[in-house]
Amino acid sequence: MVSIPFQLTMKKITEVRNLVLSGLTIMTAVMSSYGQAPKKFALHKMDTSVNNEFEEIQPITSRDGQSLYFVRSLNPKNQGGKDSGQDIWIAKKTGDTTWSAPENMGMPVNNRENNGILGISNDGKAMLISNVYLKKKMDPGVSMTTLGGDGKWGAPVTQIIKDFTIQKGFLGGYWLKDEKTLILTMKSTGSVGREDLYVTFRDADGTWSKPLHLGNSVNTPGFEISPFYSEEDSILYFASNGRDGMGDADIYRSKRQDETWTKWSKPENLGPFFNGEGFDAYFYISKTDSLIYLAKENPDNSYTDLYYTHLSNLKEALKRLAESKKSGDNILAGEKGINPNSPAGKAAKEAEEQRKAEEELNKRERVVIKDFDNVLFDFAKFDLRPEGRNRMDKLYDYMVTNPTVGVELIGHADSIDTELVNLILSVKRSEECKQYLFNKGISKRRILTHGFGKQLPTTTNLTSEGRQLNRRCEINILPDNRAKLKLEFKPENMGDETNGTKKPAVKPKPSKPANK
């Protein structure tokens, strides 16, 4: 027991009381912040317990924030090994922003094919996953797995979606907290681009309604993927490569305007805090711990890693972006209100002129010249090999001799890894060839680029030789409509990368390309 001398005046008592109250205030603040992430304005790369030298995408937390689900590709510990599909992994929370060593969810959810997560029920006992699990293969679609009393996830059950039509390619999505709404990303008969965003609703009988296209305010000729929907403010977050952004794919947001799900505000780029020169996607908000998770491309190996930041940084990032727009120093091409004489204004003008040039090129006839054989690539790479550079040198000489022709470069990939990874890789291969021609002096306005991932193999993917032939960039000549194409320059010594074993490639006529 502590006694206080009588000589302690009321002034001293007041000072002591205030000191105690201040201490309690500090303690309260500390206790209230316990378990929360630091609010530093920065993106934090998740530690090596989650990220490794391979690829991580699709971060989703359980509703209580204690479990982190995500997808790994090219990992030797996946069910089919590093050369098979992607698997779902789970990590348990051990601290404010730290996680246990992830564990593979295992069979029957994971198998040798591509396994992805769309969402988790509020009680954590049900999960929607991509694809339909058949006895000997997987078909595009949606399945549900439930957590049993033994703590193991059960066999996936097919979800019936009415009038479900999907063209071959990537399927992903996000299951909303109401558990009655599912946003899908896929290429269907009504798509305007590669993968578009759709919404479907669960009926009373457990089936899902016909997918509804979200409209052209959101969807573009490029791809729209990795949706996340904030139900509190009706804002949709997604990634797209079909807009004038900062890199291969940027993260955007758009607010739903009414109950039709087809009217949206103009998508807003989240700016340089979240987006960079590479691939940025899989934006996810965990309200439980006030954190944002996302996937960003690692420039060292072109794979993606998972990052996090405090939720308050979203507001700050948008605030700083708005301030940069007001000052006329906006770095995002294609935005209105930019000073035309600023670097951003000049970039926006160049992007618009490039878009118009690509529209004109896309209307031209495609001519295949056998001398311009495919450019081949190493596994998981997009840089040109010596023989590839030689081939592009000959193409450059031809375009100099024929200054009115354009060229279409179509990137492809083999079947290893996911649809999305291969789609991005194929785009990078076509863009690498384009950049090579540009560096030698060919205008970008004479070049179209596309990427089709692993959708259009030229031969089998069951052998290493076949997969090599499928890792390619095809070359189509686009003659000017004003003149008859004449092969004024006969390419020689193009360099046979195929050793005479290559089969004729499929020459697609793709839809209008995304703006670059």
Per-residue pLDDT, 510: 40
Last residue of a domain, one of 326, 355, 386: 326
Is residue 221 predicted with pLDDT exceeding 70?
Answer: yes
Is a pLDDT exceeding 60 seen at residue 23? Answer: no
pLDDT at 506: 40
- For residues 403 and 418, the answer to whether their CB atoms sit within 8 Å is no
Whether residue 319 is found in the same domain as residue 393 = no
**Residue 468: per-residue pLDDT:** 96
360 alpha-carbon distance from chain centroid = 28
* Residue 253 predicted with pLDDT over 50: yes
Q: Is the same domain home to 371 and 322?
A: no
pLDDT of residue 482: 52
Whether residue 279 lies inside any domain: the answer is yes
**Do 277 and 381 sit in the same domain of this protein?**
no
Report the alpha-carbon angle 449-452-453, nearest 5.
Answer: 125
Q: Give residue 132's pLDDT.
A: 92
Spell out the SS3 assignment of 59-96. Answer: EEECCCCCEEEEEEECCCCCCCCCCCCCEEEEEEECCC
297 and 400 part of one domain: no
Residue 50 domain flag = yes
Both 313 and 377 in one domain: the answer is no
Q: Where in 62-180 does DSSP place strands (E)?
A: 67-73, 87-92, 103-104, 117-120, 126-133, 138-146, 157-158, 172-175
> Which of these ranges, 111-125, 348-362, 432-446, has the smallest mean pLDDT?
348-362
Residue 242 has pLDDT above 80, yes or no: yes
Q: Is the pLDDT of residue 248 over 90?
A: no
Total tally of structural domains belonging to the chain: 2
**Structural domain boundaries enclosing 429:** 364-516
Last residue of a domain, one of 299, 326, 353: 326
Structure tokens at 378: 């190493």
Q: Is the pLDDT of residue 187 over 60?
A: yes
- Judge whether residue 15 has pLDDT over 50: no
Query: Using one digit for the tens of pLDDT, what is the confidence trace for 358-412?
Result: 888 888 888 888 778 899 999 989 999 999 999 999 999 999 999 999 999 999 9
Q: Tell me, what's the pLDDT at 192?
A: 84
CA distance 418 to 413: 10
